[in-house]
Amino acid sequence: MEARAKLIDIAAFMDRVERDGLTEDFRYQALIDALKELDTEERAKNVLLALSDPTEEPIEAATTKAACGAWPEKPR
């Protein structure tokens, strides 16, 4: 089952992050927030929004070479 394999991948990733003491990384925190959305209606939409930058104005210049998978300035 494809979903089962993906869930195991997520669990293994979380184990590695916790073992390495990187749980405060904004990308990991965004993943944790997104996982909470799995127990809501419109879960796919809510997961996407949890990982997205909600700002509407583009930044003047990119600060990195590629997307990082989460919004670094998300308020905690």
Higher-confidence residue of 41 and 71: namely 41
Q: What is the pTM of this model?
A: 0.80
Closest listed residue to residue 48, CA positions, set 31, 62, 63, 64: 31
Given a cut of 80, whether residue 45 has pLDDT beyond it is yes
Q: Kindly report which listed range (13-27, 28-42, 56-70) carries the lowest average pLDDT score.
A: 56-70
Given a cut of 80, whether residue 21 has pLDDT beyond it is yes
pLDDT > 70 fraction of the chain, expressed in percent and rounded:
97
SS3 annotation, the chain: CHHHHHHHHHHHHHHHHHHCCCCCCHHHHHHHHHHHHHHCCCHHHHHHHHCCCCCCCCCCCCCCCCCCCCCCCCCC
Rounded to the nearest angstrom, the gap between the alpha carbon of residue 60 and the centroid of all alpha carbons in its chain is: 24
